[in-house]
Structure 1
Amino acid sequence: MQEPDTAASGPSANQDEGSMKLESRAALITGAATGIGRASALLFAREGARVAIADINRDGALQTVRDIEREGGQAFFVECDLRRLKHIAGAVEAAAERYGRLDIFFHNAGVAGPGLLENTTEEAYDQIMDIHLKAGFFGAQYALPHLRRAGGGSILYTASGLGLRPSRQSPAYSASKAGLLMLTRALAVSLAQDGIRVNAICPGPIDSTPLWQGVLARNPDIVADSYAEMNRQVRPIKRLGNPEEMARAALFLAAPENSYITGVALPVDGGGAMS
């Protein structure tokens, strides 16, 4: 099977310049109350997607829904604790029921790493593995029959530049994100015959997001300004990223017009993966 509408016509397919990249698609995005997820939900909706927002942050998620609807898009909120598989399954079913289909499963939600090896508790380790890797695995499993029913689609993960290279500050964080990247590759191979593409974005540090604030807060010895400056200076593009830049990368990988791209771990980090 092939992803609908575009794959069969190949790279020379005609597309009106003014057409929306995700028109008629339905997307489920985890962690869309804030940060990268929120920016992605807004952008996906502007590109024609109907968006289900799965998050534990009710107030932030409802604000994202209101902002999408104010722009004329369609969205709804489903409360979802990603540490509970029943919640993930319920969110997938709610999205498919509301929109009659599911074309994109974007597991974006994440938490800051618990810190150094000697500071990591079993509870903190389990939390980061559950939210990043376990939820990503089972979310894809629950989404799979709906993606097949739609004739194909996209699974997308927010991994990290620290899944491509090790983190000195939080080995558990690196391990969870590296696991997501191998999951991306394994699913890309196993689901290609169904017309389902699986890709990941690998952000660098993203300014003004809850995760970035969590990184700063986990170590009271960190001076926020100097730590941010260090992160700017170690990458060729001397600045931090912003959520909208990550959203544009996510849209690129999720859009059916890019139907020949799968198994990609795309660094969106100002060149940090090379430094």
Structure 2
Amino acid sequence: MLLHSKVALITGAATGIGRASALLFAREGARIAIADINRPDAERTVEDIEKEGGQAFFVECDLRRTARIADAVDETVRRHGCLDVFFHNAGVAGPGLLEHTTEAQYDQVMDIHLKAGFFGAKYALPHLRRAGGGSILFTASGLGLRPSRQSPAYSASKAGLLMLARALAVEHARDGIRVNAICPGPIDSTPLWQGVLARNPDIVADSYAEMNRQVRPIKRLGIPEEMARAALFLVAPENSYITGVALPVDGGGAMS
């Protein structure tokens, strides 16, 4: 198993990409901590992991409060004795067009994506170093690689995560800590994608979804399990020569 005896803390693992990643990492031998604000779905993810013979627990965590991120890291180490993988996956659709974006909406998307990633990495770092190395992974976005017309705040927050990953990769390679990012395209049947479709009142959801399918060389949207496999690839110790990577998993959308 690729993550045998490893401990992974995943934010936003109640649903979507985070849930799929938690299930897959557990199947590969990792013990999972799920940091999320969505208790019912997070507990369902824990139950599903345990039904398959894995180990997981839920720690309620409002990622807009940095003290709660520190608590989640500490609780993970208290329960499992170490930390090998910090995967900051949690995200929100973000506000829409510039004219529709309030200061509160801007703060929310920056806090959950970039600030939580920054401080999550900060709090995870000593434990990863103590474990002899490990992985930090961020869920960024194809819209961190190229601009979004529909949500400039979202693009800015995800682009910030990519530069954070690169900066940390350079600084902490000497500690045996690899830092990477996955850059998903639109992922069907996730709460975030539903939020994207709903965020701009002047965009017709069906036509926007169809446009996203057609602009990709692979004429479809992604699914969470595909993102989970990319995440596993980047955090697996077998791939120890990979750091500072922003990996598009978007059906070719970054090229279109």
Relative to the length of structure 2, the TM-score reads 0.99
Task: Indicate which of 79, 96, 109 corresponds to 1:98.
Answer: 79
Q: C-alpha separation between the residues in 1 aligned to 2:89 and 2:36?
A: 10
Render the CA deviation track for 1:75-100: whole Å, top value 9, x for unaligned.
00000000001110000001111110
Shift of 1:26: 0.1
Q: C-alpha separation between the residues in 2 aligned to 1:90 and 1:113?
A: 26
Note the 1:48-63 alignment, pairs <5 A. Answer: 48-63=29-44
> Residue in 1 aligned with 2:219?
238
Asked if structure 1 preserves the Cα contact closer than 8 Å seen for 2:26 and 2:55, the reply is yes
Q: C-alpha separation between the residues in 1 aligned to 2:224 and 2:87?
A: 15
> Residue in 1 aligned with 2:117?
136
* Alignment pair present for 1:155 and 2:144: no
> What amino acid is the match of 2:50?
E
2:44 partner SS = helix
Q: C-alpha separation between the residues in 1 aligned to 2:138 and 2:187?
A: 16
> What amino acid is the match of 2:195?
G
Structure 2, unpaired ranges of 5+: none
> What amino acid is the match of 2:194?
Q
Task: Indicate which of 55, 59, 67 corresponds to 1:74.
Answer: 55
Q: C-alpha separation between the residues in 1 aligned to 2:35 and 2:114?
A: 16
Aligned length: 256
Asked if structure 1 preserves the Cα contact closer than 8 Å seen for 2:187 and 2:222, the reply is yes
Answer with 1 or 2: which has the greater Rg.
1
Q: C-alpha separation between the residues in 2 aligned to 1:96 and 1:266?
A: 29
Q: C-alpha separation between the residues in 2 aligned to 1:177 and 1:229?
A: 23
> Residue in 1 aligned with 2:207?
226
* Alignment pair present for 1:191 and 2:175: no
1:83 partner SS = coil
> What amino acid is the match of 2:172?
L
* Alignment pair present for 1:118 and 2:111: no
Shift of 1:118: 1.1
> Residue in 1 aligned with 2:163?
182
Same amino acid, percent of matched pairs: 86
Structure 1, unpaired ranges of 5+: 1-19
* Alignment pair present for 1:45 and 2:26: yes
> What amino acid is the match of 1:91?
A
Asked if structure 1 preserves the Cα contact closer than 8 Å seen for 2:97 and 2:200, the reply is no
Q: C-alpha separation between the residues in 1 aligned to 2:83 and 2:95?
A: 34
Q: C-alpha separation between the residues in 2 aligned to 1:207 and 1:152?
A: 34
Render the CA deviation track for 1:15-38: whole Å, top value 9, x for unaligned.
xxxxx0000000000000000000
